[in-house]
Amino acid sequence: MTRHVQLFSLLALAVGLYSQVHAQPVESLPSSDVRGELRGPSELLGAIDINDLERLDERALGARRENPPPKILPPPQIVYRGDKRSPKEIEANGGFLPSSEVKPTNENNGFGLYMHHLGFSLVDGKRVTAYVSTTRFFGTALGYANMASDEGGWIYEIQALPHMIDSDGTLLQGRKWRNEFEISALAGISWAQVKSAVQVPGGKTSQDYGADNWSDVTVEGFKKSMPEKQWVNNSNYDSTFDQFKASPGQPQLAGWFGNDHEKYKSQEPWSLNQTKTIEEYYMDFMNQFGGHGGPTGSATTGAATIGPRGSDETRLDPKTEEETGTLDPKAEEDKLCSPEGPGKPNKYGVPEDECRRTVWQCVLEQKKKDEKEKKDDDKLGQHHRMRGF
């Protein structure tokens, strides 16, 4: 179990690189065709006991049914998460990790977003998921934080990155819950992505915040109702993430199973993604952003990293490596760590996953060093100009 948590931790904590363009919280709401009753399973509550699941479902779910296709909204820059745990606990954990009790596999559907979306589907009585939930709307996160415990919980404002995907855009009419507006993070969320947090009380209703539904509660409405609640900024937030946003839906990651598999496998867009296993699609998507592997525990994919080398579609200000003058972690890893031939080690004779982790860390450290030297050079140049040099 410790090994399993470490693998998720490695994957979540390596999410990173690059800069500039501040994002504002999204407060506009979609049309009413995607609204429903807030559900309460545990994946957005983090530390809530899985045994509370049935009680929360009865309290907040309503009947499950096939919903009409959702209105697809643009990928957000800012997302929110309601959680029982405090910032100190999240920071100590390195961020938000998937609350999986068993290793995700193709057989247990753990890499599929549908398994995560259902929430209550268990494998031998244990939860399995390779995702962490967030939502694009503050009010939805507030509803989850409100239900986290009798004392309430915390809302986290999080910078979205390209490894976070639109759940509605992935599952479309196959989604069971209409009012989550979920953005799902593959493998986890680094603490460096968290911009700020605020503690909220429990035992409230959306009417206490001047709204009919949780999703209608805005940041401004919350501040007006709870002026004494102050947001706490994360001093470890990495502002180089500001240029990124989440990715749109990824139908290849749906991972339908059971009756739903038979129902949707022949329908587009899912019928277009039948050539690989769900784990392979998961890894392929991760690798688009500099990732190498995932939480599988195998020799080739066990210890993984993920860095947001986003495509032009997911970057706000796309720049090539030549434009930025920065090292490409993936290229450096491939050059230094790839095996020299079939069945052969790399030239350093160390396990590939360990080599890649080391190279990634070195690239990040070099980047920080280069940035510091550039700042020092700029200061020196300014000093020289002032003196007439």
Express each pLDDT in 64-109 by its tens digit: 455 677 888 999 999 999 999 999 999 999 999 999 999 999 999 8
pLDDT of residue 24: 34
Q: Is 296 left (phi over 0), alpha (psi -120 to 50) or beta?
A: alpha
315 in any annotated domain:
no
pLDDT of residue 292: 31
* Contact yes or no for 61/283 (Cβ under 8 A): no
Q: Does residue 283 have a pLDDT over 80?
A: yes
Same domain for 254 and 369, yes or no, is no
b/e for 286-322, b at 16 or more Cβ within 10 A? bbbbbbbbbbbbeeebbbbbbbbbbeeebbeeeeeee
Q: Does residue 301 have a pLDDT over 60?
A: no
Q: What is the mean pLDDT of residues 28-47?
A: 36
Where is average pLDDT lowest: 29-43, 273-287, 328-342, 355-369? 29-43
Same domain for 264 and 380, yes or no, is no
Say which CATH number the domain at 227 has.
3.90.210.10
41 in any annotated domain:
yes
Q: Which residue has 């959702």 as its token pair?
A: 70
376 in any annotated domain:
yes
161 in any annotated domain:
yes
Same domain for 254 and 105, yes or no, is yes
Q: Does residue 30 have a pLDDT over 60?
A: no
Where is average pLDDT lowest: 17-21, 56-60, 158-162, 266-270? 17-21
Q: Give the end of a domain, one of 272, 298, 313.
A: 272
Name the residue with higher pLDDT: 221 or 347: 221
For residue 184, the enclosing domain spans 2-272
36 in any annotated domain:
yes
Number of domains forming the structure of the chain: 2
What is the percent of the chain with per-residue pLDDT over 90, rounded to a whole number? 38
In this predicted model, what pLDDT tens digit does every residue of 308-340 receive, in sequence order? 333 333 434 434 334 445 556 666 667 777 777
Same domain for 82 and 166, yes or no, is yes
Q: What is the mean pLDDT of residues 269-296?
A: 72
- In this prediction, residue 131 has a pLDDT band, given cuts at 50, 70 and 90, of very high
285 in any annotated domain:
no
Same domain for 353 and 265, yes or no, is no
Same domain for 188 and 70, yes or no, is yes
148 in any annotated domain:
yes
- In this prediction, residue 364 has a pLDDT band, given cuts at 50, 70 and 90, of low
Measured CA to CA, the distance from residue 180 to residue 140 in angstroms comes to 7
Q: Give the end of a domain, one of 230, 257, 272.
A: 272
198 in any annotated domain:
yes
Q: Does residue 246 have a pLDDT over 90?
A: yes
Same domain for 83 and 151, yes or no, is yes
Same domain for 250 and 374, yes or no, is no
Q: Give the end of a domain, one of 272, 293, 309.
A: 272
Same domain for 135 and 268, yes or no, is yes
Same domain for 258 and 364, yes or no, is no
Same domain for 254 and 336, yes or no, is no
Same domain for 332 and 264, yes or no, is no
Name the residue with higher pLDDT: 369 or 322: 369
Measured CA to CA, the distance from residue 20 to residue 32 in angstroms comes to 34
